[in-house]
Amino acid sequence: MQRYFIPQTDWEGNEVRIKGDDAHHITRVMRNKVGDQIICNHENGSAAICEITLLDQHYVAAIVIEWKHEEVELPIDVTIAQGLPKGDKFELILQKGTELGAHAFIPVKMDRSIVVWDGKKTEKKLTRFAKIVKEASEQSHRNKIPEVTLPLTILELINESTNYDVKIFAYEEEAKVEAHQSFAEIVNRIAPKQRVLVCIGPEGGFSDQEAAQLKQYGFNSVRLGPRILRTETASLYVLASLSYHFEELNGNNV
Amino acid sequence: MQRYFIPQTDWEGNEVRIKGDDAHHITRVMRNKVGDQIICNHENGSAAICEITLLDQHYVAAIVIEWKHEEVELPIDVTIAQGLPKGDKFELILQKGTELGAHAFIPVKMDRSIVVWDGKKTEKKLTRFAKIVKEASEQSHRNKIPEVTLPLTILELINESTNYDVKIFAYEEEAKVEAHQSFAEIVNRIAPKQRVLVCIGPEGGFSDQEAAQLKQYGFNSVRLGPRILRTETASLYVLASLSYHFEELNGNNV
């Protein structure tokens, strides 16, 4: 069943009014009719099976049939701080990271980022990013849409990091050290509902200075398996592992 | 250090002769000189740090300085049987799956595959696939290049599956069943060196008939976390989880 995220202002009790792209999607793409069912997500994270009651030229109206009780969100909040990568890799990270349950994304301007963030295009970029995470949330049947923030410098990120319980960064050099701290050791210490900040370097990795700064401010360096992952694969490894650990290995079924 | 996979025939004891694209890469892209070091992988899975001794117009010669003793391969053999997806998604799966340690890939023609495999382009396609997995193996510092097979039908895959110890398929419907078998329960039963076959449906998922056939022939249906993953994300979730489980959680460091 198709899922739509509806702004708070478009809910009135058990009635919902769907506008814009979503209304277009319902009428033109899905070609729904009165009586068809869709899933509408509220901004508070709840979701309901709704029945379409009216298809107007400008909006679609629907009424709640049944509120859903489902746990589809990771039990921990994982924010991906991604060194700005080349091309459309950041968009791949947003799409796949949303499917895999990320809570938020922070683009970070790093020493070895080849791409320079064009300030003039910020609004256009953030609009595009918001569209990607909204669509990926709908497609993956999530109840929340991840936030994508404005780009930060590494020092701004370090400043922001005081709001997190656990901080890690994927440091390729770590894979070469015999006595390194295991990613799993750190994961084992994370408690439900904690906030986790995961910092990933761009294509060229972290500069020595960045790695030293992150260590100094309490980021734990980890390796993500013994192979060398591309920058766009690292966050997906982290999110998939955390989902496996908290939702499958330590879920209700083992 | 850049890594190259050298065919068995181009090794002579501790001397190696590098030709073709790899020689071009060394001379033109990396602009290496005599005395520079590279890593050369033998087809038997071992790897050595080598020093360049000669740069000719047609080949590069190098000599082994030190054989490397590294464990970079997943301790289990994981084969991804992927329902043919649209566009270039299969290439993304090959590249990312290789980084994450896959042993082999089998494209599978499924009921809901929208793409039809064009028999006339088979040779060209397999050449392109072989290039993708070779480059991804080099980039991720692996010692083995995964195999990409000819496409199979679901019945051919079932026939082939008798060669595997553990067989699973990612079945979206499974996520909705309360008493489903957990992916982690199955992973917990996998022993090192076992062969694991992971079957993933195309965009539309498995047909009812395919799901019934796979179940009948010993494939365990699993969910991969509570969210719905796109077809190209499912195999990456499986590989990252298996790497986390066998290389980080149950590795030497916990």
| Domain stops at, among B33, B68, B103 | B68
Say if residue A212's pLDDT is above 60.
yes
Residue A254 lies in a domain: no
Give the model's pLDDT for residue A176.
59
- Long-range (24+ apart) CB contacts under 8 A made by B143-146 are B143/B41, B143/B45, B143/B46, B143/B47, B143/B70, B143/B72, B143/B73, B144/B45, B144/B73, B144/B103, B145/B5, B145/B98, B146/B94, B146/B97, B146/B98, B146/B102, B146/B103, B146/B104, B146/B105
Contact A44, A93 (CB under 8 A): no
Q: Does position B214 have pLDDT exceeding 80, yes or no?
A: yes
Tell me: pLDDT of A217 over 70. yes
| pLDDT tens-digit series, residues A37-88 | 999 998 887 889 999 999 988 899 999 999 987 789 999 999 999 999 999 9
Which chain A residues touch B236 with a CB distance below 8 Å? 96, 233, 236, 240
Res A254: pLDDT: 39
Distance (Å, whole) CA A28 – CA A206? 47
Residue B203 lies in a domain: yes
Q: Are residues A135 and A232 in the same domain?
A: yes
- We report the CATH number of the domain holding residue A212 as 3.40.1280.10
A83 CA: distance to closest CA in chain B (Å): 19
Considering the domain architecture, whether residues A105 and A185 belong to the same structural domain is answered as yes
| Residues A35 and A156 reside in one and the same domain | no
- Say if residue B50 is in the same domain as residue B81: no
pLDDT (tens digit per residue) in A157-184: 999 999 999 999 999 776 556 556 789 9
Which one of B99, B183, B226 has the shortest CB-CB distance to A227? Answer: B99
Domain match, A98 and A214 both: yes
A248 touches chain B (CB under 8 A): yes
Q: How many domains does chain A have?
A: 2
What is the β-pairing status of strands A11-12 and A15-18? Answer: antiparallel
Chain A: residue whose CA lies nearest to B241: A241
Contact A237 B249 (CB under 8 A): no
Instruction: Examine the domain organization and report whether A49 and A163 are in the same domain.
Output: no
The answer to whether A197 touches A168, Cβ cutoff 8 Å, is yes
Confidence category of residue A253, pLDDT binned at 50, 70, 90 = very low
Assigned domain for A187 exists: yes
Q: What average pLDDT is seen over chain A?
A: 92
**Cβ atoms of A10 and A27 closer than 8 Å:** no
B86 and B45 assigned to the same domain: no
Q: Cβ of B248 and A184 within 8 Å?
A: yes
Domain membership of residue B151 (yes or no) is yes
Q: Which of A194, A192, A149 is CA-nearest to residue A168?
A: A194
Task: Provide the 10 A C-beta neighbour count for residue A135.
Answer: 16
Same domain, yes or no, for B61 and B160? no
Tell me, yes or no, whether B180 and B203 share the same domain: yes
Residue B254 lies in a domain: no
pLDDT tens-digit readout, B20-30? 999 999 999 99
**Inter-chain CB pairs, A–B, below 8 Å:** 140
Average pLDDT over residues B79-86: 97
Cα distance between residue A33 and residue B252, in whole Å: 58
Chain B 100-129, CB below 8 Å of chain A: which residues? 100-101
Distance in Å, alpha carbon of A180 to nearest chain B alpha carbon: 8
Q: What is the pLDDT of residue B243?
A: 97
**Residue B74 corresponds to which tokens in the numbers above?**
């997943």
Mean pLDDT of the A116-140 span: 94
List helix spans (H) across B33-182. Answer: 89-99, 122-139, 154-160
Residue A11's CATH number: 2.40.240.20
**What's residue B192's pLDDT?**
92
A226:B72 CB<8 A: yes
Residues A28 and A105 in one domain: no
- ipTM, interface predicted TM-score of the complex: 0.86
Number of neighbouring beta carbons within 10 Å of residue B70: 13
- Which of B43, B68, B93 is the endpoint of a domain? B68
For residues A215, A202, B141, A225, the Cα torsion angle rounded to the nearest 10 degrees is 50
Q: Does A99 touch chain B (CB under 8 A)?
A: yes
Mutate to test the interface with A, among B183, B188, B244, B250 (most CBs of A within 10 A): B244
Q: Is residue A27 part of a domain?
A: yes
- The pLDDT confidence band at residue B44, using thresholds 50, 70 and 90, is confident
Q: Both A37 and A94 in a single domain?
A: no
| Helices A231-243, B231-243: inter-axial angle, 10-degree rounding | 70
Enumerate residues 7 to 46 of chain B having a beta carbon within 8 A of any beta carbon in chain A.
Answer: none
Among A50, A68, A86, the domain-final residue is A68
For B14, the domain range is: 3-68
User: Minimal CA–CA distance to B224: which of A117, A96, A107?
Assistant: A96
Of residues B73, B16, B77, the one with CA closest to residue B45: B73
Angle at A181 between CA A176 and CA A185, to 5 degrees: 140
Q: Does residue A243 sit within a domain? A: yes
Q: How far apart are CA A177 and CA A215, in angstroms?
A: 15
Which residues between 185 and 214 in chain A have a beta carbon less than 8 angstroms from any beta carbon of chain B? 185, 187-188
Is pLDDT at B39 greater than 90 in this prediction? yes
Are residue A85 and residue A174 in the same domain, yes or no?
yes
Q: Does residue A205 contact residue B118 with C-beta atoms inside 8 Å?
A: no
Q: Determine the distance in angstroms separating the CA of A15 from the nearest CA of chain B, rounded to an integer.
A: 26
Say yes or no to pLDDT of A220 above 60: yes
B243 vs A: CB within 8 A = yes
Q: Would you say residue B142 lies in a domain?
A: yes
Asked if B182 reaches chain A (Cβ–Cβ under 8 Å), the answer is: yes
